[in-house]
Amino acid sequence: MNTTIYIRAASCISPQPTFMADGLPAEMKTFTSGKLNAIEPDYKIHLNIPAARRMSRLIKLSVCAALSCLKDADIKNPGAIICGTGLGCMEDSEKFLASLLDNNEQTLSPTSFIFSTHNTVAAQVALLLQCYNYNFTHTHRGLSFENALLDAILFLNDHPDSNVLAGATDEVTPTSFKILQRLGAARQDDADIHGTNAGEGAVFFSLQSVAEENTLAKITDINTFSIPVSENVIFEKINNFIVKHKISKDDFILTGLNGDAVSDKIYHEVIQKYFSVNNTGTYKHLCGEYHTSTAFACWLSALMLKSQRVPGYVGDPAAVLTSGRILIFNHYKGREFSLLLLEKC
Amino acid sequence: MPNKIYITGLGIISAIGGNVEESLHALLESRTGVGKISILKTALSETHPAAEVKKTNKELVSLTNLPENKFYSRTMLLGLIAARQALTAARIEKLNEARTGFISATSVGGMDRTEVFYESFSKDNSRGHLHDIITHDCGESTEAIAAQLGINDFVDTISTACSSSANAIMLGAKMIKHGLLDRVIAGGTDALSKFTLNGFNSLMILDRQPCQPFDDKRRGLNMGEGAGYIVLESDKNPGFDQKEIFGELSGYANTNDAYHQTASSPDARGAIMAMTQAMEMAKLSPSQIDYINAHGTGTPNNDLTEETAINNIFGERIPPFSSTKAFTGHTLAAAGGIEAVISLLAMKHGFIFPNLRYETKMKEFEFSPVTELRKQMKLSHVLSNSFGFGGNNSSLLFSKA
């Protein structure tokens, strides 16, 4: 199977000014703790449709990102729509749950239930585009985006002349943040070595199996694994990927470092073993920690490869992307691990 | 690249039985699982029948090798029981001898525990047991089952509403075809929850009596719960020759109706495309289909759309079809897995299971589902439909190996 696919266009809505930005934003803010909400686009411009009235914030963000990505890609009707989401439409789920408890399961309005389904975003995009094609939603915790990408690779192998709209969406709500705090997953301040920030985002990519003049970057390969039984197993899997792609100190690594001492340990070890400290970067201080944060990392890496530079908010601006390759290495709470290799075109 | 995908194991738990044998008996004896809700604590238990697995969580735990713990989600417990059956049936002892994946579908994951948590949390957000919320996300049940089975190479969760587990099976087949895995345990699991029960009730598509799929006087669906998994393998796997083959997955397709977030289109576009594309993949013509295990929820909208699709595709020669949801209730994301198991049992034993409680022909069409058990049928190709919210339409095509 050919694992290489090409990014024709990408659109990112995040806690940073990434939406409709012409390339990499000049500056981004750093957030080491707290709840990071996405910057909402002006819906009057980007989502001026009657259907938007009933959509929750996450659905609106996601539909905006998806439509803008397709516009950039100049694609009216994608060959497939594939989404990833760790928690789906939380706001609608909470609303319906609260209403059924408050009303003792009587006379409920169905609206929030209708939109709480995990495949709502993929479905709403299909509905707006009148797209009758393959429509999938992966909801596998810290691998929801990676599994959506893998699905896109499978689809493009079966349909090499087609294209895929693939993306990832997740939200942090006051309720989910409160729960993260109680779980000890929310970092108090910069001195705190436990927990991290909490973020969200809606990121979409237009993917195809051939390179073109405007291609942002190519995704060379993905590897994922879950619940490793020991640290040795983690290193064995990482080592296999590194050997397979002859990854060296010339390559840049973008890790999911998030400030939590336990979670960060493995990143430091991998960097020390395989990479040059100058060729490293991080991204979760920009978008926050969430199940599909690697979609933000993928968008960031694609733009870094296109512009051939490392912005100061990611790593050492003096770093040169010598090899033209970026490895994204992430794990979610030590349970789901992913390696995603991107290359310039 | 292996061309053919075989099914070597089945696992099922639902209101009609805790395993394949019990389920088959219920299907042969026309014994429905729909009845009064007694396990789930809900205000709707007196008014809305459902197809409940009549075992408490504690009793379900005793059917697994898990230590006692009141925080397991019911979705995970049902899934683990069925997935392990499938693995055992496929005579898989050494997982490492081939690359094995687990792809599970669920619509609301551990919502049954979330409801317990949220009841306290909503009054005071420092309350609610945290063990009751960490199973909330869809991936939790999948990962917990995978960990129990010892699978960590490729694990995925699909959530596309009521077509979810048909899609999980489809993805499993693609992973094998493209050489990424050698075998996959695929299907889905969903427990009854107040969330989904009330959700469907708020849409006014629940039947207050036992449902009557495809009947002209149908009133809606009955919710169900359960899990169904099948083991997909290529014939290159070690020990394949000694395995019992339940059938081949010869075709599959997923399409989108793009009509409405919850309703299906009057012209049945998505459903027609799903069935047609699955047959095209298998290089079969409509006249070669011997039985359709329909989605047939019992709602006015779904059943009309599905009959429209069947009429459009099969025209003068409508194949025998029935919905087994009058037995199992609508098990949401588990439905595609449970009905894949039922379709494979039908094909293997030459049975067509009846569409229970059917009385009056739908006025729009001149054909009816199968209402009596048919035996000694020669079934070479069986279609299984799963249609979900968000216009998500999937068809699986099983053929005799």
| Domain spans of chain A, in order of start | 5-208, 217-343
* Residues 156-195, chain B, touching A (beta carbon < 8 A): 156-161, 167, 171, 174-175, 178-180, 194-195
CB of B382 closer than 8 Å to CB of B354: no
Who contacts A216 (Cβ-Cβ below 8 Å, separation ≥6)?
A7, A8, A9, A10, A302, A303, A305, A306, A345
Q: Are residues B182 and B158 in the same domain?
A: yes
- Check CB contact under 8 Å for A119 and B389: yes
- Check CB contact under 8 Å for B137 and A86: yes
Domains A5-208 and A217-343 are alike in CATH topology: yes
Q: Are residues B40 and B111 in the same domain?
A: yes
- Give me chain B's average pLDDT, please: 97
Instruction: Give the model's pLDDT for residue B1.
Output: 60
Q: Which of B1, B139, B179 sits opposite A141 (nearest CB)?
A: B139
Q: pTM for the complete prediction? A: 0.98
Q: Are residues B191 and B255 in the same domain?
A: no
Q: Is B1 among the domain residues?
A: no
For residues B364 and B307, what is the distance between their CA atoms, to the nearest angstrom? Answer: 9
Instruction: Give the model's pLDDT for residue B299.
Output: 98
With CA atoms as reference, the chain B residue closest to A119 would be B160
Mean pLDDT of B12-20: 98
- Check if A283 contacts B (Cβ < 8 Å): no
Give percent above pLDDT 70 in chain B: 100
Domain that holds residue B66: 6-242
Q: Is B120 among the domain residues?
A: yes
Q: Are residues B207 and B255 in the same domain?
A: no
Instruction: Give the model's pLDDT for residue A227.
Output: 87
Domain-ending residue, one of B190, B223, B242? B242
Q: Are residues B223 and B259 in the same domain?
A: no
Residue B143's SS3 state is helix
Question: For B281-339, where are the E strands, in sequence order?
Answer: 291-293, 321-322
User: What is the per-residue pLDDT across A132-169, written as a single tens digit (0 to 9) for each?
Assistant: 999 999 999 999 999 999 999 999 999 999 999 999 99
* Residues 214-233, chain A, touching B (beta carbon < 8 A): 224-229
Q: Are residues B296 and B229 in the same domain?
A: no
How many CB pairs lie under 8 A apart between chains A and B?
Answer: 183
**Exposed e or buried b for every residue in B269-279, given b needs 16+ CB within 10 A?**
bbbbbbbbbbb
Instruction: Give the model's pLDDT for residue B96.
Output: 83
Instruction: Give the model's pLDDT for residue B6.
Output: 98
- Check if A335 contacts B (Cβ < 8 Å): yes
Residue B187 confidence class, pLDDT cut points 50, 70, 90: very high
CATH number of B125's domain: 3.40.47.10
DSSP calls for A272-334 = HHHS-GGGEEE-HHHH---TTHHHHHHHHHHHHHHHT---TTTB-TT---TTSEEEEEEEETT
Distance set, CA B6 to CA A17, A271, B153, B205 (Å): 50, 43, 20, 37
Kindly report the number of other CB atoms within 10 A of residue B218's CB atom: 24
Who contacts A127 (Cβ-Cβ below 8 Å, separation ≥6)?
A51, B258, B259, B260, B261, B391
Q: Are residues B116 and B61 in the same domain?
A: yes
Q: For B242, which DSSP code?
A: G
* Residues 147-186, chain A, touching B (beta carbon < 8 A): 147, 151, 154, 157-158, 175, 178-179, 182-183
Q: Are residues B118 and B90 in the same domain?
A: yes
User: What is the per-residue pLDDT across B151-184, written as a single tens digit (0 to 9) for each?
Assistant: 988 999 999 999 999 999 999 999 999 999 999 9
Q: Is B177 among the domain residues?
A: yes
CB of A294 closer than 8 Å to CB of A138: no
- Check CB contact under 8 Å for A179 and B130: yes
For chain B, give the number of residues: 401
**Exposed e or buried b for every residue in B32-58, given b needs 16+ CB within 10 A?**
bbbeebebbebebbeebbbbbbebebe
Distance set, CA B124 to CA A184, B129, B165 (Å): 18, 12, 37
B291 pLDDT more than 80: yes
Domain-ending residue, one of B242, B274, B294? B242
Q: Is B72 among the domain residues?
A: yes
Q: Are residues B63 and B199 in the same domain?
A: yes
Kindly state which CATH superfamily the domain A217-343 is placed in.
Thiolase/Chalcone synthase (3.40.47.10)
Instruction: Give the model's pLDDT for residue B2.
Output: 66
Q: Are residues B343 and B392 in the same domain?
A: yes
B3 pLDDT more than 90: no
User: What is the per-residue pLDDT across B298-347, written as a single tens digit (0 to 9) for each?
Assistant: 999 999 999 999 999 999 999 999 999 999 999 999 999 999 999 999 99
The stretches in chain A having pLDDT less than 70 are none
Q: Are residues B238 and B254 in the same domain?
A: no
Mean pLDDT of B74-96: 95
Residue type, A151: D
Give the catalytic positions of B in this structure: 162, 295, 330
User: What is the per-residue pLDDT across B328-337, written as a single tens digit (0 to 9) for each?
Assistant: 999 999 999 9
CB of B259 closer than 8 Å to CB of B32: no
With CA atoms as reference, the chain A residue closest to B271 would be A132
CB of A216 closer than 8 Å to CB of A13: no
User: What is the per-residue pLDDT across A223-281, written as a single tens digit (0 to 9) for each?
Assistant: 999 988 889 999 999 999 999 999 999 999 999 999 999 999 999 999 999 999 999 99
Look up the CATH architecture of domain A5-208.
3-Layer(aba) Sandwich (3.40)
User: What is the per-residue pLDDT across B243-282, written as a single tens digit (0 to 9) for each?
Assistant: 999 999 999 999 999 999 999 999 999 999 999 999 999 9
Structural domain total, chain B:
2
- Check CB contact under 8 Å for A119 and B160: yes
Q: Are residues B191 and B309 in the same domain?
A: no
- Check if A44 contacts B (Cβ < 8 Å): no
Distance from CA of B154 to the nearest CA of A (A): 6
